[in-house]
Amino acid sequence: MSKKELHHKPVMCEEVLSILNPSDGCVYLDGTLGAGGHSRKILESADCRVVGIDKDPTAIELCRDLENQYGNKFLSINGSFGNLSQHLHSIGINKIDGILLDLGISSMQLETPERGFSFQFDAPLDMRMTQTGETVYDILNSLSESSLADIIYYFGEERSSRKIAKAIVNKRKIKKIKTTFDLNEIVLNVKKTKNRKIHPATKTFQALRIYINNELKDLYEALISTEKVLSEKGRLVVISFHSLEDRIVKNFIKENSISLKKYDPKNPDKAFVYENRKVIKPSEGEVKKNRRSRSAKLRWAFRSSLMLSQLNSSHNFINYGGIEC
């Protein structure tokens, strides 16, 4: 196991295991494999199978030890959880018993300077989870001022987006914006650091990362797919870390689930059932041990007996809180 794996702490693991309740002979999907922390805990809990998906090839390599230890009980796939249905069908799995989506960026990615995810290290402006395609460097030095402002505002909820975008465009007229420190300096010149709970560049970096990795649209596609691949009573568990993700998850569950008290398995009218809509947050003890968990929000529901032919065909990305720029 690498040093990066050793530093990885899966968030809200006790809560995830309590909800998923891993059982012998069942199949589970970890849609955000990362360093494999959640997958390992699930495999340790029962004689079951786990399929792990991650768009970051580094995550797949980090989890080779799970394949060596568990053999055919663990399989990793390099791809987006937005295509989870296709990924499962490609390996001959049509139904699974539980899905976990631990959203956002991983500690592994943040702590690898050359990936360019963090403003704490001086590195090329990359931020690609797939490690292919367009980089943040590319869009910062090519998109119009208005496009950059929209991305920073909508995906980062940054009130100073117009000023930051203007500063970016003015700076790149002099020289290209190449590194995380270049971008950080631009933001710091726009926003002052006094009396701020979060670093001034946090929202800008978040916005660019979400945009370049198509994170919200992938989440939307994944949620829709869960209706098709989860077996009856199969659990959907989603951990989000900011309001944009949580809004989509919350609205999806709200529109496509019914309370357990009103649920009739013989006459279902929604794809999911919820026991309690109240969001679950990490314990104080976990937050003290793992600061990354402090903003985590967990929501879950289980698959009803509704037939595939009866599923909602009017899903709408924007209505669920999605954003397109």
Query: CA-CA distances (angstroms) from residue 88 to 83, 148, 149, 229?
Result: 9, 36, 38, 8
Q: Are 186 and 171 in contact (CB under 8 A)?
A: yes
Looking at residue 219, its pLDDT comes to 97
What's the CA gap between 227 and 301, in Å, rounded? 11
DSSP 192-228: --TT-SS-TTHHHHHHHHHHHTTHHHHHHHHHHHHHH
Q: Which residues of the chain have pLDDT under 50?
A: 1-6
186 alpha carbon, distance to own chain's centre: 27
Cβ atoms 295, 282 nearer than 8 A: no
CA distance readout (Å), 243 to 103, 206, 216, 292, 300:
12, 12, 11, 15, 16
pLDDT at residue number 197: 77
Q: Do the Cβ atoms of 96 and 229 come closer than 8 Å?
A: yes
Q: Residue 84's closest CA among 70, 97, 99?
A: 99
* Domains, in order of start, for the chain: 3-107+215-310 (3.40.50.150), 131-212 (1.10.150.170)
List of residues 6+ apart from 90 with CB closer than 8 A: none
Rounded to an integer, what distance in angstroms lies between the CA atom of residue 280 and that of residue 261? 20
* Residue whose token pair is 């797949």: 60
How many whole angstroms separate alpha carbon 29 and alpha carbon 84? 9
φ, ψ for residue 28, nearest 5 deg: -125, 150
Instruction: Identify the pLDDT of residue 41.
Output: 96
The predicted structure's pLDDT at residue 94 = 93
Is this model's pTM higher than 0.75 or not?
yes
